[in-house]
Structure 1
Amino acid sequence: MKSSRLVSILLLLQARGRMTAAQLAEELEVSVRTVYRDVEALGAAGVPLYGDAGHAGGYRLLDGYRTRLTGLNADEAQALFLAGAPGAAAQLGLGSVLAAARLKVRAALPPELRTHADRISGRFHLDAPGWYAEADAHEAPHLTAVADAVWNDRVLDVLYRRWREPTDVERRLKPWGLVLKAGRWYVVAGPGPRTYRVDKILELAVSDEEFTRPPDFDLAAHWARYQRGFHERLYQGRAEAVVRLAPGVTLARARATGPDPSPDADGWTTLTVPIESVEHAHAEFLRLGADVEVLRPAELRARIARTATELAARYAERPLSGHG
């Protein structure tokens, strides 16, 4: 977005000094012409920005000019990375800090950028949890302590509840990072690393021992690999179902069946879908109602047919009275 680029140009010039339009364009992944327009907008907003021609030319800020954005303190700078998720910031104990950081950034922006910021905050909001997740469904009382250990590289001794026996186990963790996924917090920790649900930590003690985080560890890249591996493990060795889907309906992890994956004369597409079990697939396919037809396995098709028959009979028993 334009307002974000203007701030980026301002901070790049402040941090690196003179930069050419080509260098700025490469850094921001935009065209040189876009940089020219953005520089004009900064100048019109009152930023003392100058351009020098020639081989050693480029754009620079007036000597001595410093944007007040650097007035942020450490906690406020951390909170800004959660600016798109105020609920997450509050869970980490950074709610008030985030509010202070936003006020400070807004006051530091030129009038034009301030207007853009106000429009963005008034038009976009991130609500991470799903529709049917209760507010306290994934309450994690130890989240703040885990986040502090992640930031300060402190070893954690935890009592953790897992799904298999023995359910409650002691673990010594080196927390490398936190991930918020669909309203649930996960901590990625060494050795391994391995992934733990923060709301499954029953007891926690922060050790005086510090650890060194691997310098080449990329949390976002690791999480992407973890998700891919999760789905592969989930469906490894599991059964498959062959289904027909109504026009416009899609399923994750489905693949076309047969030499011709194109829709049939009715617009329906036949696909093969990996399933965990007949029970799980029964519940998942029922969500699609009449937009899916299970062809195989026969057990799953028969089970869905029985459920549909029972539902039809139940709703046909008697009309509700006294409503509407």
Structure 2
Amino acid sequence: MATQRDTLFRYLAMLQLIPRSPHYKATTTLQALLAERGFNIELRSIQRDLEKMSSHFPLLCNKDERPYRWSFDPGFKSNLPAMDTATALTLVLAEEYLKGLLPQIAIDKLNPQFDAARKFLDALQENSYASWARQVRAIPNGKALLPAAIDPPVWQGISDALLERRAIDVEYLSRQQREVKPFTLHPQGLVVRHSVSYLLATVNNYDDIRQFALHRIRKLNPSENRYREHPGFSVEGYIAKGAFGYPLDQQQLELVAKIDRGMAWLLAETPVSTQQQLSGPDQEGWVTLTATVPNDQQTQWWIMGFGARIQVLQPSSWRDAIAEQAKQMLAMYEPAPSARNLKD
């Protein structure tokens, strides 16, 4: 009985050590890892065990090289395949990045995967990954606000309603009217934008899609009203129309601007659009940027973030709007208030 139990534990340990394809582990590597876990077994026995288990699990064996190399089928859905260093580091980076994007309740749902990645890296004390906590960081592009807090029952209720196509009754804090109002919502999609999560839904018996910030939902319950489908709706199409970009209109336009060499280097590596051209520097070092961009305020704000490093030439409406904004800012900061005025 004890022998059968030990064999079962050895099989489980071996399955947990085998990664998904294209990663693999050689039988010699498996033998060493099993020995670290207290299973001292010959190489031939390991090979026989793997061949037996391959009749019950989607194990792949590469016999082109010796020792043989084993992996799970890449489509196998299970927690058994072992985590590798690349996957672990990717999860650690994802956790760092998502903490500034998703609400805490969503991060909590992923904590088991993040914990497994950290434990995997922590266990590698004899190699360069031992100090992984000091070597991995994800830095947001620009100032990131803290994610708005969402009540756990609200997040769960929204998730269930979206997946099960159910209507919900909510009490929602209206930003414009600054009061809590009751609505029956028919969820159509979910979008995370910066630090705020939005439910896309139709309201009551209306057909237009509206946005509801999840952190402003004060109460949520399943509705007795029948769920109303919105035929043809897609989140991708909704976003493409500029719903979250504060569009000035639905047209694309050609942006022409002079930019400094540092910004030119940045855009050469990470273009502002798929249709972008950069000239060579002129005598003063300025590079001409030509790009097709959406006519939205998001792009204008992005431009203004570079300050004096970019000068918009076209379109003239953007140039005028940015110049007017600069004048208003200059009027606010000049003349600078004296220290005595600040004290008064």
Q: TM-score, normalised by structure 1?
A: 0.51
Number of the residue aligned with 1:182: 194
Per the alignment, do residues 287 and 185 of structure 1 end up closer, same or farther by CA in structure 2, a change over 3 Å counting? same
TM-superposition CA deviations, 1:166-205 (whole Å, max 9, x none): x9783344688x6654322244779999975323535422
Number of the residue aligned with 2:213: 197
Number of the residue aligned with 1:43: 34
Distance 2:333 2:195 in 1: 35
Distance 2:38 2:226 in 1: 44
Match of 1:294 among 300, 312, 329: 312
Distance 1:316 1:179 in 2: 41
Q: CA deviation at 1:314?
A: 7.4
Report whether the alignment pairs 1:247 with 2:243: no
Distance 1:149 1:244 in 2: 46
Report whether the alignment pairs 1:285 with 2:303: yes
Per the alignment, do residues 112 and 131 of structure 1 end up closer, same or farther by CA in structure 2, a change over 3 Å counting? same
Q: Find the residue that maps to 1:237 and give its secondary structure.
A: strand
Aligned residues: 266
Indicate if the aligned counterparts of 1:157 and 1:207 stay in contact, CA closer than 8 A.
yes
Q: Find the residue that maps to 1:145 and give its secondary structure.
A: helix
Per the alignment, do residues 87 and 242 of structure 1 end up closer, same or farther by CA in structure 2, a change over 3 Å counting? closer
Distance 1:194 1:243 in 2: 35
Indicate if the aligned counterparts of 1:45 and 1:112 stay in contact, CA closer than 8 A.
no
Match of 2:293 among 255, 269, 274: 274
Distance 1:233 1:302 in 2: 18
Distance 1:158 1:204 in 2: 4
Q: CA deviation at 1:269?
A: 2.9
Q: Find the residue that maps to 2:251 and give its secondary structure.
A: coil
Distance 1:157 1:309 in 2: 47
Match of 1:236 among 222, 239, 250: 250
Q: CA deviation at 1:243?
A: 1.8
Q: Find the residue that maps to 1:39 and give its secondary structure.
A: helix
Per the alignment, do residues 203 and 274 of structure 1 end up closer, same or farther by CA in structure 2, a change over 3 Å counting? same
Number of the residue aligned with 2:183: 170
RMSD of Structure 2 on Structure 1 (CA): 6.0
Distance 1:104 1:313 in 2: 52
TM-superposition CA deviations, 1:217-251 (whole Å, max 9, x none): xxxxx877765565899462255432222224236
Number of the residue aligned with 2:47: 52
Distance 1:98 1:118 in 2: 23
Q: TM-score, normalised by structure 2?
A: 0.49
Match of 2:150 among 110, 132, 140: 140
Distance 1:107 1:285 in 2: 39
Per the alignment, do residues 108 and 294 of structure 1 end up closer, same or farther by CA in structure 2, a change over 3 Å counting? closer
Per the alignment, do residues 203 and 41 of structure 1 end up closer, same or farther by CA in structure 2, a change over 3 Å counting? same
Distance 2:260 2:312 in 1: 12
The 5 A counterparts of 1:78-227 are 91-92=104-105, 112-113=123-124, 119-121=131-133, 123-124=135-136, 131-133=143-145, 135=146, 138-141=148-151, 143-148=152-157, 150=159, 155=166, 156-158=168-170, 170-173=183-186, 180-187=192-199, 196-201=212-217, 203-207=219-223
Per the alignment, do residues 286 and 119 of structure 1 end up closer, same or farther by CA in structure 2, a change over 3 Å counting? same
Indicate if the aligned counterparts of 2:255 and 2:312 stay in contact, CA closer than 8 A.
yes
TM-superposition CA deviations, 1:75-124 (whole Å, max 9, x none): xxxxx9996656889832986x988x699969997984588897445654
Q: Find the residue that maps to 2:256 and give its secondary structure.
A: strand
Q: Find the residue that maps to 2:154 and give its secondary structure.
A: helix
Distance 2:237 2:126 in 1: 39
Which residue identity lines up with residue 285 of structure 1 in the other structure? I
Per the alignment, do residues 125 and 232 of structure 1 end up closer, same or farther by CA in structure 2, a change over 3 Å counting? closer
Distance 1:301 1:53 in 2: 73
Distance 1:39 1:161 in 2: 57
Number of the residue aligned with 1:6: none
Per the alignment, do residues 241 and 321 of structure 1 end up closer, same or farther by CA in structure 2, a change over 3 Å counting? same
Per the alignment, do residues 130 and 161 of structure 1 end up closer, same or farther by CA in structure 2, a change over 3 Å counting? farther
Match of 2:21 among 15, 22, 28: 28
Distance 2:287 2:330 in 1: 24
Indicate if the aligned counterparts of 2:259 and 2:288 stay in contact, CA closer than 8 A.
yes
